[in-house]
Amino acid sequence: MKKMMKAVTIATLAVGMIGTSAFAATADWTEVKGIFNSKIKVVIEGKGPSDITPLIVDGTAYLPVREMGNTFGLNVTWNEQESRIDIQQMKPPVDVQSLDGIVLDVQEGKDGVRYVDVLNQGADAVNAIVRLVVPADFKVTDNKSETHDASVLKAGMKIEATHSLAMTKSIPPQAKAESIKIVHELGMTEGTIQSVQSTDHGLTIKVSDKADDPTAGVVLHVSKDTKLMSGVIGGEAVAQDQLKQGMKVKAYYGPVMTMSLPPQSAAQAIFVLDSNDNEAK
């Protein structure tokens, strides 16, 4: 492709972006004489001939820049203010899926590969939980653009990630991680809901295993953005009005927390644990 591009002079003639008012006689313009030769065929990457007809000036073939740009994956635009033609490489087609969520679990497999379960907090998430397959030599970044080994990943981290569109049909579905950025770390608590109060913005619940201690546990503010699910892996969505006193839950909250007793924070995700198995799986 590069040899062919060197052999063809791409001219701004026929670019289709310069108005007729620009053709006033000035020192910026040089008059030339040329002909369109329809007998000359243009074959691109062995395909063709194309519909492009070259303009011949003094033995040199000139081709329209926009058509050639489209052929070679280049984006051609006309900058009116600067009287400039801008040619840029087009962005490749999107072949990854974005993921914004909370790390629920990290397991290490063979050869240093890690399996990272992530709760997808996206509003239009198709899969509530995705298992990212992270290679042993994978590097993650943080909010300071510093890189780290994947061994730093742990439950409770808020991350932004991209993964391959190829996913298994397992529960949860698995996909190869393409990028992972650690945004911040969240707090986590597991206990029993001691109280539930309705507010203008949702619910306020107190989670603690010490019912007789008013300062123990944490007060969580539940909003429409809080992810509510039954179980942890493969659970179903739970409505706010299903949260009841006495339920065993596991909750992720933050990143901001008050210094009060008990402390208060925004609930990011709450999992209602099975009454017969209160341990997160």
Count CA atoms closer than 13 A to 148's CA, side-chain side: 15
Burial classification of residue 185, based on how many CB atoms lie within 10 Å of its CB (0-12 exposed, 13-18 middle, 19 or more buried)? middle
Lowest mean pLDDT among 97-106, 120-129, 173-182, 218-227: 120-129
Going through 33-186 in order, the beta strands assigned E by DSSP cover 35-36, 55-57, 60-64, 74-79, 84-89, 96-108, 114-120, 129-134, 139-142, 147-149, 157-164, 174-185
Q: Which residues pair with 162 in a beta bridge?
A: 98, 179
Of 173, 165, 179, give the one whose Cα is nearest residue 95.
Answer: 165
Lowest-confidence range among 15-19, 76-80, 86-90, 123-127?
A: 15-19
Whether residue 189 contacts residue 206, with contact meaning beta carbons closer than 8 Å, is answered with no
pLDDT exceeds 50 at position 7? no
Strand, coil or helix: 48: coil
Give the per-residue pLDDT at 94.
Answer: 61
- pLDDT tens readout for residues 190-202: 999 999 999 998 9
Burial classification of residue 197, based on how many CB atoms lie within 10 Å of its CB (0-12 exposed, 13-18 middle, 19 or more buried): exposed
pLDDT above 60 for 118: yes
**Residue that wins the pLDDT comparison between 232 and 197:** 197
Q: Answer with the residue of higher pLDDT: 6 or 267.
A: 267
Percentage, residues of the chain above pLDDT 90: 54
Pairing outcome for strands 264-272 and 227-230:
parallel
The CA distance from 215 to 259, in Å, is 12
Lowest mean pLDDT among 98-102, 210-214, 228-232: 228-232
Average pLDDT over residues 196-212: 94
Pull the structure tokens for residue 28. 């910026």
Confidence of residue 79 (pLDDT cuts 50, 70, 90): confident
pLDDT value at 275 more than 90: no
Distance CA 142, CA 182 (A): 5
